[in-house]
Amino acid sequence: MKRKKKSKPVVMLPQAAPRTERVVTFLSKEEKQMIENYLDKYHIANRSRWMRETLLRNIFQNLELDYPTLFDEHDMRR
């Protein structure tokens, strides 16, 4: 009697909008080496995705902190 192979579940990922815009930046040799060392240490294969996610995560955190409020922080602490 043959065993049936278990099929892996199919994971459907949301389709991202096509990325058509390019951003170019310049780094010093030391900065580039630091990034390369980090990527090697943490086994990150997709450098573009890592940079995009790291940059956008930082932007979202700052936007969340700078969210407009009705009162200034000084007034709320009174």
Instruction: Give the C-alpha separation, 46 to 33, whole Å.
Output: 16
- Tokens 């579940």 correspond to 9
Q: pLDDT tens digit string along 20-67? A: 999 999 999 999 999 999 999 999 999 999 999 999 999 999 888 877
Q: Output the pLDDT for position 71.
A: 74
* Residue 45, both tokens: 């294969």
Whether the Cβ atoms of residue 35 and residue 27 lie closer than 8 Å to each other: yes
Beta-carbon contacts of residue 55 (< 8 Å; ≥ 6 apart): none
Nearest to 19, CA basis, from 62, 56, 59, 45? 56
